[in-house]
Amino acid sequence: MPNDKNISLANNKNHGRIVSTPKEGRCLDTAQLNLMEQAFRHAVENASRPAVRFSCRRLLIIFLLIRYTGAKLNEVLAVNPVQDIDPHRRAVFFRGETTGVAGEPREVQISAALAGEIHHIVDHPSFREAAGKVLEVDPGFVRRKFYQCAENCGLARQSGGPEAIRKARAVELMQGNMPLPAVQMMLGHSTPNLTSAYVSFSEEEIHQVARLFMEKESLRKTSARNSFFGKIATIERGDIQARVELTTIDGHTLTTIITNNSVERLGLQKGRLISAEVKAPWVILQGGGTEPTCSAENRIKGVVERITRGKINTECVVRISPTTEVCAVVSSGGRNLDLTEGDEIWVLFTGSSVILHVD
């Protein structure tokens, strides 16, 4: 994504697109969002009186829900944390706006860690006494506290408002390669009419993809830069190894080569949702308008989004769909240094470079 532009989602006949809106200013990045989160946590830890601590904990819950669900402030303030947060399903049910079918609550996935943390906070006696009115707070008061927190963190006042944080979360999700239908569903936008590339993914499966993304984001136990979420299309077994093809939500087909033992151990079968990762050094870049003839099973055309040159290595980010980027790390002494932003490029990686993860 361009660093000098703000990114938002808009819906049109093509089911959603990324729109650059430079006049609205930059969104907070992940590090800045984390800085505000730590400031709210620090306020809880340093509260001197029970009443102040209760207020700080309440603001922390509100911030966490907006920060990690991208919900609107009025939706969050209508949440009953005891009834509307399901730690088993790892979801929040927003009832503040009738965006669902027949006024049903809107379900948004969160990580197991976040669901557990909020459950622990509201299990405190002071919250149990408040019953379902824990988050019934004046919206103006919340906005003032968010602005104050942003300023205390050395950030622009307006960038710390609830609406700006919701927008920053959308940008963060898209930069993390969360599939567009899952981002739209999470933010309460009109979701795609499951056609073309999306035809084989049900609404529940898109929710499951979001859950996979949230857990991966929460754990951060992998160094792989490139993540894909999709469904197993075919499994072709050989004597020792198997070729597994999966279809991503944005329509790409990825091929991986794994052992038959791994197929059994992971419980892989056609139709199962799965995530795949490819480390940046394993990605090869090749120019040209025609598809390369090579042994790499995975060949995807994209556009160079940005280039970061270093003394030893160069990082090249290639956009292969509206919400999916692939990062490659190449030698700075190689011919790939001739690339410039906006160039068409082929992203190549072998099937043995693709690592599969199951929920």
What's the pLDDT score for residue 87? 84
Domain boundaries, the chain: 7-218, 226-277, 280-350
The string of pLDDT tens digits covering residues 85-128 is 888 888 899 986 544 444 678 889 888 888 888 888 888 777 76
**What share of the chain in percent tops pLDDT 70?**
81
Contact 182, 213 (CB under 8 A): yes
Question: Which residues is 284 bridged to in the sheet?
Answer: 348
Model confidence at 42, pLDDT cuts 50, 70, 90, reads very high
Contact 327, 282 (CB under 8 A): no
The string of pLDDT tens digits covering residues 124-165 is 777 766 666 778 889 999 999 999 999 999 999 999 999 999
Q: Do domains 226-277 and 280-350 have the same CATH topology?
A: yes
3-state secondary structure of 287: coil
> DSSP for 178-237?
--HHHHHHHHTPPPP-S-GGGTT--HHHHHHHHHHHHHHHHH------EEEEEEEEEEEE
Out of 3.40.605.10, 1.10.357.10, 1.10.150.120, 1.10.443.10, the CATH code matching 7-218 is 1.10.443.10
Out of 3.90.640.10, 2.40.50.100, 2.40.10.220, 3.30.2270.10, the CATH code matching 226-277 is 2.40.50.100
Out of 3.10.20.310, 2.40.50.100, 3.40.50.10800, 3.40.50.1820, the CATH code matching 280-350 is 2.40.50.100
Contact 9, 16 (CB under 8 A): yes
Whether 68 has a pLDDT exceeding 50, the answer reads yes
Pairing of the two strands 253-259 and 106-109: unpaired
Separation between Cα atoms, residue 123 and residue 127, nearest integer Å: 7
The string of pLDDT tens digits covering residues 226-235 is 888 888 999 9
